[in-house]
Amino acid sequence: MGDQSRKFTPRQRNRRPLGLQTSKDKAPAIPLSAPIKRGDYWYVPAPLASRLHQKSGLGKTTSDGGILLLSEEVMFCHWHRHMPLPDEVWFSEQLSLNSQHIARSVVFDVARSGGELVIPTSHLKDDLIKSIHPNTWAVRWRRDQSFSKEQPEAQTRWACTNDTVDIIELLDWANEVKSEGFIPELYIVDEEMDVTMYRLDIINMKGNQNTWDNFSDEEQESVRQLWSQRLAWGEGWYIPCQQQWVWSTVGIEHMSGRLLREEEAKWLSNILSNNEDLSGIDSLFSHLMSKGLIIRPGFKFGCRWRVYDDAVEQSHAPWLVQTESDAPSTWEGICLSVRLAEGVHKSWVCILGQQDNWSCLQIKRWLPGRT
């Protein structure tokens, strides 16, 4: 049994009931009319349409002063603006037409819960839609921005935890969104109808450690001489004479010598033989080492590597790195990896590409109102 002596108040979950509810927000004296079906949208006439659009950025305006709402916007107005649903079977009908109707409505609700303005791309004007990626679901303005006068801050998309991840497509989307000056954001809805928000970034990992080209001819010759004295241990190598080893980035000090694991040894051997014809994981390892980084195994953190930008003795690893081939195949797996990384004060990064064309996709949790 759990420890029942602990004193805490569990977080209250939003159940989002159907039907107009009594709430602290005063309902209008005259009940609002339900929206009317118009094509694929739901029509709300003026003057209510003006209040919903001008204050909350809801709906797509029509020539007669009304607005057209998507089904998730109808749900939002039902929960927060005292608007009745079109009829008693409307919700069931929407769900039968689109099995993701619940998830879409919840994501839209949560995305706006902090006062942010989130507007589906189908409502955007032509001058803005030109810079919006076709795979973007909605754009987001900060709570202190005017959606009618300013550019949105972010482009957003959403998925469910068990959806398959196309990590290459995600990188391409994030790259194009950033190139247009927007923040790429991702909202993941789980099976309890909670939503976790993420920000994506393309980062350039750099370190301050010596690389092979930084060493003098004498230092390079010293490395060669010590490498020639190596002894096998398991799949790696042991190099004696630790006091003479000049390359602190490579290997670990142990047994009064230097222990190099297999991937380090293979990479060093290629350097000493001037072999630049590398591929796959060997090419990536070489690329990261050339950036002055320190690469250590990520076994304890469920990833391929933990990567340092400074000496191991002086700092913690800022990044936990996974390769494209090892990345989780669903959002549930990626969410778990990101949560584990941030639990130990690191960032989760997936590296994609080949040869010297590598991209580092960083995914971090985010909450509205926080930078």
Residues near 277 by Cβ (< 8 Å), separated by ≥ 6?
none
The pLDDT tens digits of the residues spanning 6-45 come to 666 777 778 899 988 765 567 787 889 999 999 999 999 9
Last residue of a domain, one of 259, 278, 297: 278
pTM of structure: 0.91
Give the residues of the chain that fall short of pLDDT 50: 1
Q: Is the dihedral of CA 178, 294, 306, 341 positive or negative?
A: negative
The pLDDT tens digits of the residues spanning 45-67 come to 999 999 999 999 999 999 999 99
**Residue 2 resides in a domain:** no
**Residue 72 resides in a domain:** yes
CATH code at 91?
Answer: 3.40.1170
Backbone angles phi, psi at 321, to 5 degrees: -110, 135
Number of structural domains in the chain = 2
**Residue 46 resides in a domain:** yes
The pLDDT tens digits of the residues spanning 176-213 come to 999 999 999 999 999 999 999 999 999 999 999 999 99
**Residue 199 resides in a domain:** no
> What is the residue range of 38's domain?
31-98
pLDDT of the residue at 3: 59
Radius of gyration of the chain (CA): 27
Last residue of a domain, one of 67, 83, 98: 98
**Residue 80 resides in a domain:** yes
**Residue 303 resides in a domain:** no
Last residue of a domain, one of 239, 263, 278: 278
**Residue 43 resides in a domain:** yes
